[in-house]
Amino acid sequence: MAGATRTRTYTAALLYALALQLLACASSTAASASPTAAEARALLRWKSTLPPPKPDSTGAGPLSSWSPTTAACSSWAGVTCGADGRVAGIALPGAGLAGTLAALDLAAFPALTGLNLSGNRLEGAIPAGISRLTSLVSLDLSDNALTGGIPPALATLPALRVLVLRNNSLGSAIPASLGRLRTLERLDLQAARLVSTLPPEMGGMAGLKFLDLSANNLSGGLPPSFAGMSKMKELYLSRNKLSGTIPPEIFKNWPELTLLYLHYNSLAGTIPPEIGEAKKLRRLSLLSNNLTGVIPADISGLVSLQMLHLGQNCLTGPIPTSLGNLTQLVILVLSFNNLTGTVPAEIGSLTALQDLDLNNNQLGGELPATLSMLKDLSGLSLASNNFVGTVPNFCSQKLVSIELYGNNFSGGFPLTFCQMTSLEMLDLHSNQLSGQLPSCIWDLQDLMFMDLSSNALSGDIHVLASANSTLSLESLHLANNRFTGGFPSIIQYLKMLSVLDLGGNNFSGAIPSWISSRLPLIRFLRLRSNMFNGSIPLQLLQLSHLQLLDLANNNFDGNIPCGLTNLTAMIRPQTEFNMRSTVHHQIFHLEAAFYYANRVDVNWKMKTYEFQGAIALMTGIDLSGNSIDGEIPTELTNLQGLRFLNLSRNHLSGTIPENIGDLKLLESLDLSWNELSGHIPSSISELISLSSLNLSNNMLSGEIPTGNQLQTLADPSIYSNNFGLRGFPLSKSCTRDSSIQMDQSKESEGVYVYYSIIAGVVFGLWLWFGSLIFSAPWRLSFFYYVDFIHRKLVR
Ligand SMILES: *[C@@H]1O[C@H](CO)[C@@H](O)[C@H](O)[C@H]1NC(C)=O
Ligand SMILES: *[C@@H]1O[C@H](CO)[C@@H](O)[C@H](O)[C@H]1NC(C)=O
Ligand SMILES: *[C@@H]1O[C@H](CO)[C@@H](O)[C@H](O)[C@H]1NC(C)=O
Ligand SMILES: *[C@@H]1O[C@H](CO)[C@@H](O)[C@H](O)[C@H]1NC(C)=O
Ligand SMILES: *[C@@H]1O[C@H](CO)[C@@H](O)[C@H](O)[C@H]1NC(C)=O
Ligand SMILES: *[C@@H]1O[C@H](CO)[C@@H](O)[C@H](O)[C@H]1NC(C)=O
Ligand SMILES: *[C@@H]1O[C@H](CO)[C@@H](O)[C@H](O)[C@H]1NC(C)=O
Ligand SMILES: *[C@@H]1O[C@H](CO)[C@@H](O)[C@H](O)[C@H]1NC(C)=O
Ligand SMILES: *[C@@H]1O[C@H](CO)[C@@H](O)[C@H](O)[C@H]1NC(C)=O
Ligand SMILES: *[C@@H]1O[C@H](CO)[C@@H](O)[C@H](O)[C@H]1NC(C)=O
Ligand SMILES: *[C@@H]1O[C@H](CO)[C@@H](O)[C@H](O)[C@H]1NC(C)=O
Ligand SMILES: *[C@@H]1O[C@H](CO)[C@@H](O)[C@H](O)[C@H]1NC(C)=O
């Protein structure tokens, strides 16, 4: 029995061993015949290192289908396999993944051809082990937060055709070894914080068709060896710091070139004549470089060209007549150069043109009549040149934006403008236009911005009874003309109006009482230097958006009305650049932004300043040079957003409000030439931003307060001609009866927001401008910002 038992025991042991062996055998078969398990393990291990995902709408995380109990090839999100059962693709774009790639065992995926993890929140470095993905054809890690540079090991991937790493924080240099990627067709490293020069070795990427290195910090020249990329179709190098010249070789050696964007760099030298050899080139942008010399006549060789943008360079000489050969042109921008001569009549051959921008050059003479052949034009800017003669007939019904300002156009207001029913922006300021303003202009339903200031227009602006009540005008500038008559009654139909400048005309009569009910959105009201009379209507105080009220140099009389605290926009400082300044339109599949500038002249600190964008932040009241009497209402001191206050040259009596020091933002205060009496309130020393003060020519007496900013206002004349003021700065020198300097020089604030157009690029000038403003502390004076902006943006 014992033997039998032992035998059985033995048998059992044998069976057990056999079973074990079978099991081991089975699992080893699985390991060699079904690599998916190893791949699945590698994926699961990586998943386990990622931070817990945000659940999606179904409550599950993006990788919830990745489970040891299901088959990776058939049921895991984003995983695809080849016929051999190996993982061939991993595509998890925008899946909400966070974490790093460090724990992903890349060696486990020798058959992977496509990896797409774009649009996640991945951090850390791209592992050097990426070189183990020997079958990889396409790698897309764009729109993540990856750091640590581009691993040179990428260059060893023998089959790579697409490499997309754009919009990461990679940093470091472009590895020269990338030049070994001979099969690469698409390389996209846009906005990857790359800092380096362009390695000449990159010219070795002989298969490259698409190269995007824009928006990095690349410097140095564009190596002539790039000519070796002979398949090149689209090259984007814009928004870097590239210098040197444009190598002519590329135009000879890139027969397939269709797009070349080099804008916002520091490229110098001339435009090589060889450029004419790029017969397939459709879009060319050299905007904002340092290019000199003439536009080569050979440019007419670019027979496929649809967009030519050469703005903001230092180009000289004439516009070549051969440009008329580019009959496919849709966009032609030559603005901000030093071009001379006239506009060639050949420009009329460019019948596909939708946007013509020649602004800010030295072009002159009369415009060719052939311009009337451009029937598809929707943007036209010929501003800031020396054009003379009458404005030609523009016959395009599609015009959205017309800028002819800053020339010497003469003659009457062009009646053809009345037919442009799509017109949204019309800027004719600073010309010599004369005669009456045709009333048909008020039929343009879509017109939002109209600036006719500084011309010689005259006559009454009278409305037709049939005036259309759905006008869109937000900004109306009629300043510095010779208009007469009463406050234009058409204005009551402009419900959207936020800027109204009628200054420097000969308008007369009273401000109509409908102003508050008809213009509820008005922010900037400038009526200065006219013949308006009557009292300041109470209704004016109901304008809760009003932040600039300039009634200076008119014949207003009566008191400053009560209820100033209803001007709520003046109670707190304006802190937002919340003024519309663009009209957006699609031109030729591109987003075109037509910028307009709400320029408003502001008189403060004894000068006239032209504010553009920053006007949105300006708050002030100027009632100077009228016949206003009575006292200064104490409630004025509640308007604590005020940056300037000018009540000079009126008949104001009584005392200066005790709480004047509450106007903490005040930078300019002028109460001179009134009949104010009593002492100067000591709170005035609390006006810590004050840089311009004038209390002269009143009947003030007593001690001049001291302290803070007042100590810097050392010119005794600001207190002169009063009834016995004492103290600094008068005690230091005798009270002179010096006349106050009346410097009327005009300084431009210089925020040149010109119209600009470019493919697919949003020019965040305005946004940038905004962030610039708000990244700086507010305690500095407003004027500081103006200067700051000036330095930053003026080219
Ligand atoms: C990656 O996926 C995104 C989203 O589907 C897609 O837009 C992108 O083209 C893909 N990348 C590549 C290289 O195919
Ligand atoms: C860059 O990537 C981040 C993160 O995915 C995304 O939010 C952002 O929109 C991307 N920026 C651009 C310009 O594509
Ligand atoms: C670009 O590089 C320069 C010099 O290396 C550096 O001073 C600058 O901050 C960089 N700019 C950006 C946007 O990375
Ligand atoms: C253009 O060149 C001038 C002088 O050579 C230089 O001062 C200026 O900074 C350059 N501008 C740009 C945008 O590179
Ligand atoms: C244009 O030319 C004038 C004089 O010829 C020169 O003063 C000016 O600086 C030039 N402007 C540019 C942008 O090159
Ligand atoms: C280009 O235009 C010029 C005159 O403007 C003309 O003589 C020439 O033949 C044109 N060339 C082509 C290729 O059309
Ligand atoms: C433009 O007109 C003004 C005033 O008539 C004149 O001073 C100036 O010389 C003119 N400019 C040109 C280029 O004709
Ligand atoms: C305004 O003009 C439009 C289009 O011309 C017209 O349809 C509408 O009736 C007009 N409205 C008034 C109040 O005249
Ligand atoms: C302005 O109009 C008044 C009449 O309303 C007239 O007496 C005066 O001469 C005009 N001034 C100018 C500068 O045209
Ligand atoms: C305003 O001036 C007009 C003449 O332009 C005159 O008829 C009217 O009486 C004046 N109104 C007041 C209140 O002075
Ligand atoms: C100021 O606003 C209040 C409340 O909206 C209103 O009752 C009052 O009449 C306004 N005052 C003036 C002078 O408009
Ligand atoms: C105030 O207005 C008067 C008259 O309009 C002007 O002469 C003076 O320069 C202004 N004061 C300031 C500080 O701008």
Pocket probe for ligand 6: among 295, 298, 303, 322, the residue whose CB has the most ligand atoms within 8 Å is 322
Q: Write the CB contacts of 5 (distance below 8 Å, at least 6 apart in sequence).
A: none
Q: Which atom of ligand 8 is nearest to the CA of 467?
A: 14
Q: Which ligand is nearest to the CA of 566?
A: 11
Centroid of ligand 5 to alpha carbon of 361 (angstroms): 9
Q: 89-93, 163-167, 402-406, 783-787 — which is least confidently predicted?
A: 783-787
How far is it, in rounded angstroms, from Cα 439 to Cα 242? 52
Cβ partners under 8 Å of residue 72, min gap 6: 36, 39, 40, 43, 66, 79, 81, 87
Which residues does residue 651 pair with via DSSP β-bridges, in sequence order? 629
Percent of the chain whose pLDDT exceeds 90: 69
In a domain, 667, yes or no: yes
Q: Is residue 737's pLDDT more than 50?
A: no
| Average pLDDT value for the chain | 85
Mutate to test the pocket of ligand 2, among 143, 165, 170 (most ligand atoms within 8 A of CB): 143
Nearest-CA residue for ligand 5 atom 8 is 338
Give, in degrees to the nearest 5, the angle at Cα 530 between 526 and 531. 135
Expressed in angstroms and rounded, the spacing between residue 82 Cα and the centre of ligand 1 is: 19
Q: Distance (Å, rounded) from C-alpha 534 to C-alpha 509?
A: 7
- Please give the distance, rounded to the nearest whole angstrom, from the Cα atom of residue 468 to the centre of ligand 8: 6
Nearest-CA residue for ligand 2 atom 13 is 167
Q: What is the pLDDT at residue 265?
A: 96
DSSP state for residue 348 in the 8-state scheme = G
Q: Residue 488: CA atoms inside 13 Å, Cβ hemisphere, count?
A: 30
Question: By C-alpha distance, which of 149, 146, 148, 143 is closest to 166?
Answer: 143
**What is each CA distance from 621 to 189, 479, 655, in whole angstroms?**
52, 18, 19
Of 9-13, 96-100, 136-140, 310-314, the poorest mean pLDDT is in: 9-13
Nearest CA owner, ligand 3 atom 8: 217
- Show the ligand 2 pocket: residues with CB < 6 angstroms: 119, 143, 167
Residue 773 in any domain: the answer is no
User: Which atom of ligand 9 lies nearest, measured to the CA of 482?
Assistant: 14
User: What is the number of the ligand closest to the CA of 268?
Assistant: 4
Interval between CA 208 and ligand 3 midpoint (Å): 28
Express each pLDDT in 215-231 by its tens digit.
999 999 999 999 999 99
Domain annotation covers residue 505? no
Q: In angstroms, what is the span from residue 441 Cα to ligand 8's centroid?
A: 14
Q: Which ligand is nearest to the CA of 635?
A: 11
What mean pLDDT comes out for the span 606-630?
A: 87
Nearest ligand atom owner, CA of 187: 1
pLDDT tens digits for 681-707? 999 999 988 889 999 999 999 999 988
552 in contact with ligand 12, CB cutoff 6 A:
yes
Q: Residue 532 Cα, ligand 10 centroid: separation in angstroms?
A: 8
What does the pLDDT read at residue 18? 43
Helix (H) or strand (E) holding 449: strand 449-451
Q: How far apart are the first and last CA of the chain?
A: 108
Between 144 and 606, name the one with better pLDDT: 144
**Dihedral angle sign, alpha carbons of residues 550, 553, 554, 558:** positive
In a domain, 33, yes or no: no
DSSP letter string, 273-301:
GGGGG-TT--EEE--SS--BSBPPGGGGG
Distance 432 CA to ligand 12 centre (A): 29
How large is the average pLDDT for residues 399-404? Answer: 94
Per residue in 570-610, pLDDT (tens digit) is 998 888 777 777 777 777 767 777 777 777 888 877 778 87
Contacts of 788 (CB under 8 A, 6+ apart): 772, 776
464 in Cβ contact with 440 (< 8 Å):
no
Higher pLDDT, 736 or 57: 57
| Measured distance CA(264)–CA(266) in Å, rounded | 7
Q: Tell me: pLDDT of 766 over 60.
A: no
pLDDT of residue 35: 65
Mean pLDDT of 114-128: 95
Flag whether 6 is in a domain.
Answer: no
Nearest CA, atom 3, ligand 6: 322
* Nearest residue to 641 via CA among 679, 692, 689, 701: 689
Position 149 in a domain: no
Which range has the worst mean pLDDT, 151-165, 667-681, 755-769? Answer: 755-769
Q: At what angle do helices 765-774 and 782-793 cross, to 10 degrees?
A: 140
Q: How far is CA 42 from the centre of its chain?
A: 46
Describe the chain by its helix, strand, coil percentages, rounded to 5. 25, 25, 55
What per-residue confidence (pLDDT) applies to 600? 83
- pLDDT tens by residue, 651-679: 999 999 999 999 999 999 999 999 999 99
State pLDDT tens for residues 171-212: 999 999 999 999 999 999 999 999 999 999 999 999 999 999
Does residue 113 have its Cβ closer than 6 Å to ligand 1? Answer: no
Q: Tell me the angle at which helices 2-33 and 36-49 cross, rounded to the nearest 10 degrees.
A: 80
The answer to whether residue 758 scores a pLDDT higher than 50 is: no
DSSP for 396-408 reads -TT--EEE--SSE
Nearest CA to ligand 2 atom 10: 143
What's the rounded Cα separation, in Å, for the pair 665 and 644?
A: 8
* Ligand 8 site, residue 470, Cβ cutoff 6 A: yes
Ligand 3 atom closest to 241 (CA):
1
Which among 513, 540, 542, 638 is the best mutation to test ligand 11's pocket, defined by most ligand atoms within 8 Å of the CB?
Answer: 542
Q: Note the pLDDT tens digit of each residue in 288-334.
A: 999 999 999 999 999 999 999 999 999 999 999 999 999 999 999 99
Q: What is the CATH number of the domain that holds 658?
A: 3.80.10.10
> d(Cα 363, Cα 339) in Å, to the nearest integer?
6
Instruction: Say yes or no to pLDDT of 145 above 80.
Output: yes
User: Helix, strand or coil for residue 458?
Assistant: strand
State the total domains in the chain. Answer: 1
Q: Is 534 in the pocket of ligand 10 (CB under 6 A)?
A: yes
Query: Hey, what are 627's tokens?
Result: 């016949």
Spacing, Cα 507 to ligand 9 middle (Å):
9
The secondary structure of 615-647 as a DSSP string is: GGG--EEE--SSEEEEEPPGGGGG-TT-SEEE-
pLDDT on residue 59: 64
More confident residue, 4 or 355: 355
Check pocket membership of 217 for ligand 3, CB cut-off 6 A: yes
Q: What is the per-residue pLDDT for 733?
A: 43
Which of 675, 671, 703 minimizes the C-alpha distance to 690? 671
Q: What is the pLDDT of residues 232-261, one digit of tens each?
A: 999 999 999 999 999 999 999 999 999 999
Cis check for the bond before 255: say yes or no (omega within 30 of 0). no
According to DSSP, the β-strands at 234-236 and 210-212 are: parallel
User: Which residues have CB under 8 Å from 12's CB, separation 6+?
Assistant: none
pLDDT in the model for residue 55: 67
Greater pLDDT, 374 or 745: 374
Structure tokens at 482: 């010779």
Mean pLDDT of 433-445: 91
The residue contributing the CA closest to ligand 6 atom 14 is 325
Ligand 3 atom nearest to CA at 217: 1
Task: Give nearest CA residue, ligand 5 atom 11.
Answer: 338
Looking at the predicted structure, is the pLDDT value of residue 793 above 50? no
Judged against a pLDDT cut of 80, whether residue 60 lies above it is answered with no
Task: Give the distance (Å) from ligand 5 centre to CA of residue 73.
Answer: 66
- Residue 754, pLDDT > 70, answer no
pLDDT (0 to 100) of residue 794:
22
Q: Is ligand 6 within 6 A of the CB of residue 297?
A: no
Top pLDDT among 745 and 493 is at 493
Alpha-carbon 636 to chain mean position: 36
Q: Which of 101-105, 165-169, 755-759 has the highest mean pLDDT?
A: 165-169
Looking at ligand 10, which atom is closest to the CA of residue 510? 1
Looking at the chain, the whole-number percentage of residues with pLDDT higher than 70 is 85
Q: What count of Cα atoms within 13 Å lies in the side-chain half-sphere of residue 122? A: 33
pLDDT of residue 580: 74
Q: Which residue has the higher pLDDT, 750 or 443?
A: 443
Whether 739 maps to a domain, the answer reads no
Report if residue 112 sits inside a domain.
Answer: no
**Backbone phi, then psi, for 181, in 5-degree steps?**
-80, 75
Question: How many Å apart are CA 343 and CA 321, to the nearest integer?
Answer: 9
Lowest mean pLDDT among 12-16, 585-589, 612-616, 769-773: 769-773
> Domain range holding 566?
557-575+600-608+621-726
- Nearest-CA neighbor of 361 among 782, 769, 754, 791? 754
User: What is the 466 CA–ligand 8 centroid distance (Å)?
Assistant: 9
